[in-house]
Amino acid sequence: GSTAEHLVREARVPVLLVAAPRDRAPERILVPVDQSDISAHVLRTARSLGVRFGADVTALHVVGSGVMTQVLAAASTLGATPPIPQEPLRIDAQTRAGEWLARLASTGADTELAVDTEVVPGQPTHEIVAFAERSQADLIVIGRIGTGGLRRAVLGSVLDAVLRQAPCPVLV
């Protein structure tokens, strides 16, 4: 990978990657989160930055195709013989993700800054970058999960791709 990707993987402190310098404080902060333990910490960090800079903060969770595959597999083990309609399962997965994200966003909400939440279906990297572009995010604050083995290959690849494709600075 690139020097920046290597730095992000090895750093023991947050790293800010800026492709093009900005002459103003961030006004819109995007926080992509998954259901890993680090998500609450990442959201707290983003909320602190939002308070400091007077920025809006949006927590984004992408319900990926992997989640849908797990839901369908679980449903098939229940002995359902006819094909299971995917749309109700997708809606249920998104609803549950939305409830989880709302709980996460309200945790530690003792500041005056409310965090907006969005849940979208799709491929995480594509949806994170597309949402950052649509919302004109000035900063993406994203967590880094362990760097070894399969976990890094699957989850780290989203981070690496976001670092390469982000339309704004990224704090990891």
| Nearest to 62, CA basis, from 137, 117, 151, 123 | 123
Q: What is the mean pLDDT of residues 74-84?
A: 57
Strands 16-17 and 170-171: antiparallel
Predicted TM-score (pTM) of this structure? 0.82
CA 57 to chain CA centroid, nearest Å? 12
Q: How many CA atoms lie within 13 A of 104 on its CB side?
A: 29
pLDDT at 71 > cutoff 70: no
CA distance linking residue 43 with residue 32, whole number of Å:
9
Q: Is 115:58 a contact under the CB 8 Å cutoff?
A: yes
Q: Residue 147: its pLDDT value, please?
A: 45
CA distance linking residue 83 with residue 139, whole number of Å:
43
> Helices (H), strands (E): how many in the chain?
7, 6
pLDDT tens sequence across 90-128: 788 889 999 999 999 987 666 678 899 999 999 999 999
User: The tokens 């990978």 sit on which residue?
Assistant: 1
Q: Residue 20: its pLDDT value, please?
A: 76
Angle between helices 157-165 and 124-134 (to 10 degrees): 30
Stronger pLDDT, 4 or 169, i.e. the higher one: 169
Q: Which residues of 85-115 are buried (b: 16+ CB within 10 A; e: fewer)?
A: eeeebbeebbeebeebbeebbeeeeeeebeb
The alpha carbon torsion through 14, 18, 21, 26 (nearest 10 deg) reads -60
pLDDT tens sequence across 130-171: 999 999 999 999 998 644 444 445 546 899 899 999 999 999
Mean pLDDT for the chain overall = 83
